C-alpha cells in the first residue's frame, strides 16, 4: 500500500500546478480539475500498472483515457509529475505552439495522451476499442477511463454503455466524476441525470461507489474493489463522488469555477491553502 501522506502531498502540488497553469493564461478549467486531483494521482501513482516511458499501443500495461478533456490541467500535471514529459512544460499550457493544448490531443505528440478529447461523450467508446484490442492481443492488463457526470447527457455514452455490457467488456473500468455540476448550473437543474447507479446497473454494468471521492484512502480501496470485479463478464463503473474545486475553499461547492481562471489575489489564496511539496515548475 502506498504511503497515503506522500500521495496527499503529491495532490497538494498538483493543485498548485492546476491553479498556476490556469491563472497564467487566464483560461482553462480549474473546478473539475481540482475535483479529480486525488483520483488521478491515485490512478497514476498507485492503481495503474504502467511501463516506463510512453508507447501509444500500451502493450502489456494498463492504459487510461480521459473523456472529459477539459480537465486537462490536472491531467497534464499528473502526467508530467509521473514522468511522461518535463514538469517545466506545464509553463506552456494553452500557449501558441505548445504540446499542452487547451484540451488533450495526440496531434502535438504529447507523451501520455492516446486520443484527443474535449468534444464530450467519446471516451468510453475509445476505451472499449482499446479493451477489445487488449483481448485480441491476449494482454490481460486493464483499460481505465474517466468521464464527467454532465457528460453522460451525450447519447454516445449510452451506445457505448450498452455495447460494453452486451459484449462482456470486463477488462474495463470507467469512473464517472459525480460532482453534480456543469457549466450552466447543477446537473439537477440543467438536465437531471436521475439514478446514475441504477442506470448503469440496468444496462448490465457492475457499479462500485466511492462516496469520498476526494479521499486517497477511499479511492484506493474503491479501485481495489473495482479491479477485483474485472474478468467476470461485466464492465465496471466507479461512481466517484467528488467536490468540484476541492482543496481551494472559494472554488468548492459551486459550478462557478468550471471554466474560469483565478485573478492574482485568488491565486495567492489558492496557493497559500496548498503549500509547495514537490517543487513548483
Partner 1 sequence: MKTYIDTGKKDTRSGFGAGLTQLGKTNENVVALCADLTGSLKMDAFKENHPERFFQMGIAEANMMGMAAGLTIGGKIPFTGTFANFSTGRVYDQIRQSIAYSGKNVKICASHAGVTLGEDGATHQILEDLGLMKMLPGMTVINTCDYNQTKAATIAIADFDGPVYLRFGRPKVANFTPENGSFTIGKAVELQEGTDVTIIATGHLVWEALEACKTLQERGISAAVINIHTIKPLDAAAILKSVAITGCVVTAEEHNYLGGLGESVSRILAENHPVAQEFVATQDTFGESGTPDQLMEKYGLNAAAIVKAATKVVARK
Residue 57, interface with partner 1 (CB under 8 A)? yes
C-alpha cell at 265: 489575489
DSSP-derived 3-state class of residue 233: coil
Q: Shortest gap between Cβ of 125 and partner 1 (angstroms)?
A: 2
Cα–Cα distance between 89 and 86 in angstroms, integer? 6
Which one, 94 or 114, has the nearer CB to partner 1? 114
Which one, 36 or 161, has the nearer CB to partner 1? 161
Residue 146 pairs with which residues in a beta bridge?
Answer: 66, 175
Residue 64 pairs with which residues in a beta bridge?
Answer: 144
Which one, 161 or 240, has the nearer CB to partner 1? 161
Binding to partner 1 (CB under 8 A) within 96-135 occurs at 105-107, 114-119, 121-134
The two beta strands, 143-148 and 172-178, are parallel
Q: Shortest gap between Cβ of 137 and partner 1 (angstroms)?
A: 6
Which one, 169 or 244, has the nearer CB to partner 1? 169
R_g over Cα of the chain? 17
Residue 137, interface with partner 1 (CB under 8 A)? yes
Cα–Cα distance between 134 and 127 in angstroms, integer? 10
Q: Shortest gap between Cβ of 58 and partner 1 (angstroms)?
A: 6
Residue 56, interface with partner 1 (CB under 8 A)? yes
Cα–Cα distance between 116 and 141 in angstroms, integer? 22
Which one, 4 or 116, has the nearer CB to partner 1? 116
Torsion angle of alpha carbons 103, 108, 110, 116, nearest 10°?
40
Binding to partner 1 (CB under 8 A) within 148-187 occurs at 155-156, 159-160, 162-163, 166-167
Encoded one letter per residue, x for contact with partner 1 by CB under 8 A and - for no contact, window 4-43 reads ----------------------------------------
Q: What is the DSSP letter of 87?
A: G
Contact (Cβ atoms closer than 8 angstroms) between residue 33 and residue 243: no
C-alpha cell at 245: 474545486
Q: Which residues in this chain contact partner 1 in the complex, by CB under 8 A? A: 56-59, 63, 65, 105-107, 114-119, 121-134, 136-137, 139, 155-156, 159-160, 162-163, 166-167
Amino acid at each position: 500500500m502506498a504511503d497515503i501522506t506522500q500521495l496527499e502531498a503529491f495532490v497538494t502540488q498538483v493543485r498548485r500546478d492546476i491553479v498556476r497553469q490556469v491563472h497564467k493564461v487566464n483560461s482553462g478549467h480549474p473546478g473539475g480539475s481540482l475535483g479529480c486531483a486525488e483520483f488521478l494521482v491515485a490512478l497514476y501513482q498507485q492503481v495503474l500498472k504502467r511501463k516506463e516511458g510512453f508507447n501509444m499501443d500500451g502493450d502489456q500495461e494498463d492504459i487510461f483515457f480521459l473523456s472529459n478533456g477539459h480537465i486537462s490541467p490536472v491531467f497534464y500535471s499528473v502526467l508530467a509529475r509521473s514522468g511522461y514529459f518535463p514538469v517545466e512544460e506545464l509553463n506552456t499550457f494553452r500557449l501558441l505552439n505548445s504540446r499542452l493544448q487547451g484540451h488533450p490531443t495526440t496531434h502535438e505528440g504529447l507523451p501520455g495522451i492516446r486520443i484527443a478529447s474535449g468534444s464530450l461523450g467519446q471516451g468510453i467508446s475509445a476505451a472499449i476499442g482499446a479493451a477489445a484490442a487488449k483481448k485480441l492481443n491476449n494482454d490481460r492488463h486493464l483499460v481505465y477511463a474517466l468521464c464527467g457526470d454532465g457528460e453522460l447527457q451525450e447519447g454516445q455514452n449510452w451506445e457505448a454503455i450498452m455495447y460494453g455490457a452486451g459484449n462482456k467488456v470486463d477488462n474495463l473500468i470507467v469512473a464517472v466524476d459525480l460532482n453534480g455540476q456543469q457549466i450552466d448550473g447543477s446537473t439537477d437543474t440543467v438536465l437531471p441525470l436521475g439514478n446514475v447507479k441504477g442506470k448503469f446497473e440496468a444496462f448490465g454494468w457492475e457499479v462500485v461507489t466511492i462516496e469520498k471521492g476526494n479521499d486517497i484512502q477511499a479511492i484506493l480501496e474503491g479501485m481495489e474493489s473495482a479491479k477485483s470485479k474485472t474478468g467476470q463478464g461485466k464492465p465496471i463503473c466507479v461512481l466517484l463522488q467528488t467536490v468540484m474545486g476541492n482543496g481551494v475553499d472559494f472554488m468548492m461547492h459551486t459550478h462557478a469555477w468550471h471554466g474560469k481562471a483565478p485573478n492574482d489575489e485568488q491565486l495567492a489564496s489558492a496557493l497559500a491553502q496548498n503549500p509547495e511539496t514537490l517543487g513548483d515548475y
